[in-house]
Amino acid sequence: MSFTLSTPVVSAGVDEYLGVPNLGALGIHLSGGVTSSAAFLAALVFWVYPAEQAWPKVRRRITLFGLVAVTMFVLWYAAGTDGQERSPHYLLQNAHRPVVAAYLLLYVTAFAAGMAEIARLGRRYAKAAGRAWLRRGLYTTSVGAAIYIAYCVNRAWAVVAVQAGLDPLQWELVTPMSNGIGILLVATGFTMPSWGPRLSAARMWIANWVAFQRLYPLWNDLYRAVPEIALNPPAPSFVERVRYGDLRFRLYRRVIEIRDGLLAMRPYMGAEPTAAGVRGEPPMSEAERAAVEAARLKKALRAKAGDRPPPAPRGEAAAGGDTVSRIGEDYAGELGWLLLVAKAYARIRRDGADEKEVRDEVPAAG
């Protein structure tokens, strides 16, 4: 309502229709300053306090803001409406009048006090908020409220400026900037706990979908070589890649099935190089180790497809070592490792590169 009335043509239309000059200005200040401060503050109090503590605090604040609103109306009425011309900038063009100056100072003091309390509560309780999006919302709200205070200071300064012979309209740009940025941040902060988790869920779904697609070539070749790794027979490749249902579970199953496939192919992969490199070479990075793993896997799949018997185990392979292909300490780590292997494996499938070529194309660590 306040921003609607702030549109000059709307405010002028209200004054003309009702025949009361500057009534639109009063509506802007009561709805956009006093009422909105009370509403925002009440909502924040219910966020940070239990209901039995919040209700008394809210009642006190509403009563106080109600008294401010009544006093503002009395001052506005005392400033006169009969025979007075409408002022496009009511506060700035009448700040030299004592009654309007008192009205202005009461308005900005109440508005600034409400915004300061919102900023204080937001910062204080954001530190203790358990949910990430609630914490972000409180911080965002407190920043928006602090920016709103700049508008209040600018308006209060007008009282001093007119007495010094200055024209407050010269820096009126502060008003739309502080109001626009302030309301955007406050509204965003208050609504963030409701839409923020959905944003996180959407981002996680996209990340899972991308990971699922990147793992498909690696999984598909392992499945063709070792069909028993699949929990259920897969759908045709196109359907399998575009099916969206229960994506989180399907990605989890895909990681397990790839691990089972890699273990099944272990006898065909021979001895593993160590992560520390050979002949004085620097230790391999994770990407280099993944490239080596992908190249060895490709050779193993060719050997199995050609019915060649697996090589005799020796070295770390004989001892059951698992240095390059290792199970991560957690699911996220395991998924990240397999994505590195899948990326290197896709490069081999596309270009037919061997192990050395794949390693050479991996950027050096650091």
**pLDDT of 26 over the 60 cut:** yes
Nearest to 254 by CA among 313, 209, 201: 209
User: What integer pLDDT is reported at residue 352 of this predicted model?
Assistant: 65
Cα distance between residue 122 and residue 114, in whole Å: 12
Does a structural domain hold residue 188?
no
Q: State which of 130, 152, 172 marks the end of a domain.
A: 172
Does a structural domain hold residue 43?
yes
Does a structural domain hold residue 270?
yes
Q: What is the extent of the structural domain holding 58?
A: 2-172
Give 278-300 pLDDT, tens digit per residue: 555 677 888 889 898 999 999 99
156 and 7 part of one domain: yes
Q: Specify the higher pLDDT residue, 256 or 18.
A: 256
**pLDDT of 276 over the 80 cut:** no
Region of 307 on the Ramachandran plot (φ > 0 left; ψ -120 to 50 alpha; else beta):
left
Mean pLDDT across the stretch 143-168? 90
Q: Specify the higher pLDDT residue, 317 or 164.
A: 164
11 and 150 part of one domain: yes
102 and 219 part of one domain: no
pLDDT > 90: percent of the chain: 42
48 pLDDT tier (thresholds 50, 70, 90): confident
Mean pLDDT across the stretch 262-270? 86
**pLDDT of 95 over the 90 cut:** no
Mean pLDDT across the stretch 346-358? 70
167 and 280 part of one domain: no
Does a structural domain hold residue 344?
yes
pLDDT > 70: percent of the chain: 79
Cα distance between residue 139 and residue 129, in whole Å: 10
65 and 207 part of one domain: no
31 and 144 part of one domain: yes
User: What integer pLDDT is reported at residue 357 of this predicted model?
Assistant: 54
Q: What's the number of domains the chain is made of?
A: 2
Q: Specify the higher pLDDT residue, 45 or 19.
A: 45
Q: State which of 133, 153, 172 marks the end of a domain.
A: 172
Q: What's the token pair of residue 69?
A: 């609103």
354 and 235 part of one domain: yes
Whether pTM > 0.85 for this model: the answer is: no
Q: State which of 172, 190, 215 marks the end of a domain.
A: 172
List the Cα angle 94/99/105 in 5-degree steps.
Answer: 80
Give 302-340 pLDDT, tens digit per residue: 988 877 766 655 554 444 444 444 444 588 899 999 999
Torsion of CA 171, 75, 1, 178, to 10 degrees: 20
Give 171-189 pLDDT, tens digit per residue: 888 888 998 999 999 999 9
